[in-house]
């Protein structure tokens, strides 16, 4: 059974509302971990408050990956402006984590959280745009695939390739489907497509195939198998949920500062003195 027009028209509203809510939730989680101590919060805010919400900065830049053309007029690969903005947010986030010596385990988990956010946000946007006639095209799929490859190249260069690959599977599968030549897709069956793009659930694959052939009757071989026909018709399963985010687990070892040992580092006491002055400054000023 095909989704109703009303269901498809509400898909965009669900994407927008869900992504904005997830952006807020992601920001809250990141800020909670980065700013769990008053020391970190005080100096982060004084240093550069714009670096505190990486997910909010990311949200405004994300869709450049879907829209940017990575090919020059001469056919050379380049980083388009939209993708460049995403890379800048990721670079600033890593610089922030490094500058404040955030624990390596927390750094890895926060990066995983950002990759999860990128995957869910862009995948849902891609599902929504499929409702627009002629958006799903091979040429667009090739552009998005090239943008995603450029993003992954940079992520690999900073040693986070395995983490990103794990959390970007769904988006990568959808983009690979779009980047498959139409002649190849027309020869494929539902069973073979399910095997090749296993990261997509039946509803997501069915949605993309229907949108890919918008205005034309889809090949009978694309029809869901009898055992998956009901699952393929569940439009509520098309969008990715932001609730299943990776956990944030506090580490128990390998800290820069071991409180069980004598603290002999003069720089630490200097920073604590600055923090004390910063914390009590407004209070002293108000009592004068």
Cα atoms found within 13 Å of the Cα of residue 247, Cβ hemisphere only: 3
Cα distance between residue 32 and residue 47, in whole Å: 17
Owner of token pair 């940079």: 154
The residues pairing with 77 across neighbouring beta strands, listed in sequence order, are 71
Residue 13 is predicted with a pLDDT of 59
Query: Where along the chain do its domains lie?
Result: 5-238+257-282
Of the listed ranges 81-85, 88-92, 143-147, 267-271, the one predicted with least confidence: 267-271
* Alpha-carbon 236 to chain mean position: 21
Helix/strand/coil for 36? coil
Residue 42 is predicted with a pLDDT of 34
Over residues 227-244, the pLDDT tens digits come to 999 999 999 999 999 888
Contacts by 4-7, CB closer than 8 A, 24 or more apart: 7/235
Buried-exposed string 163-188: b where 16+ CB fall within 10 A, e elsewhere: bbeebbebbbbbbbbbbbeeeebeeb
Average pLDDT for 258-270: 73
Over residues 147-173, the pLDDT tens digits come to 999 999 999 999 999 999 999 999 999
Report which of residues 112 and 21 the model is more confident about. 112
Cα distance between residue 78 and residue 68, in whole Å: 10
For the chain, what percent of residues have pLDDT higher than 70? 74
Over residues 186-230, the pLDDT tens digits come to 999 999 999 999 999 999 999 999 888 665 778 899 999 999 999
Cα dihedral 128→120→27→68 (10° resolution):
-70
Lookup: tokens for 49: 């408050």
Task: Count helices and strands (H / E) in the chain.
Answer: 15, 0
The most confident of 3-17, 112-126, 252-266, by mean pLDDT = 112-126
Residue 273 is predicted with a pLDDT of 85
Lookup: tokens for 84: 């460049």
Helix/strand/coil for 218? coil
Report whether 106 contacts 119 (CB < 8 A).
Answer: no
Cα distance between residue 245 and residue 114, in whole Å: 10
């Amino acid at each position: 059974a095909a989704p109703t027009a009303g269901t498809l028209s509400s898909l965009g509203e669900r994407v927008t509302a869900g992504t904005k809510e997830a952006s807020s939730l992601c920001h809250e989680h990141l800020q909670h971990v980065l700013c769990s101590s008053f020391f970190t919060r005080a100096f982060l805010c004084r240093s550069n408050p714009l670096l505190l919400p990486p997910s909010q900065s990311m949200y405004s830049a994300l869709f450049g990956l879907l829209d940017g053309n990575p090919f020059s007029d001469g056919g050379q690969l380049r980083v388009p402006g939209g993708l460049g903005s995403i890379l800048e947010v990721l670079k600033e986030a890593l610089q922030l984590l490094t500058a404040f010596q955030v624990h390596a385990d927390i750094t890895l988990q926060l990066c995983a959280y950002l990759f999860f956010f990128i995957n869910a946000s862009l995948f849902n946007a891609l599902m929504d745009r499929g409702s627009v006639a002629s958006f799903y095209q091979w040429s667009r799929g090739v552009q998005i695939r090239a943008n995603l490859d450029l993003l992954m190249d940079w992520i690999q260069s900073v040693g986070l390739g395995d983490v990103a690959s794990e959390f970007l599977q769904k988006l990568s599968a959808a983009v690979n489907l779009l980047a498959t030549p139409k002649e190849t897709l027309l020869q494929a069956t539902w069973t073979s497509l399910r095997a090749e793009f296993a990261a997509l659930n039946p509803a997501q694959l069915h949605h993309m195939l229907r949108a890919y052939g918008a205005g034309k009757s889809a090949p009978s071989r694309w029809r869901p198998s009898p055992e998956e026909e009901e699952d393929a018709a569940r439009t509520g399963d098309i969008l990715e949920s932001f609730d299943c985010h990776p956990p944030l687990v506090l580490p128990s070892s390998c800290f820069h500062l071991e409180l069980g040992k004598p603290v002999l580092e003069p720089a630490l006491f200097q920073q604590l003195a600055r923090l004390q002055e910063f914390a009590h400054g407004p209070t002293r000023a108000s009592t004068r």
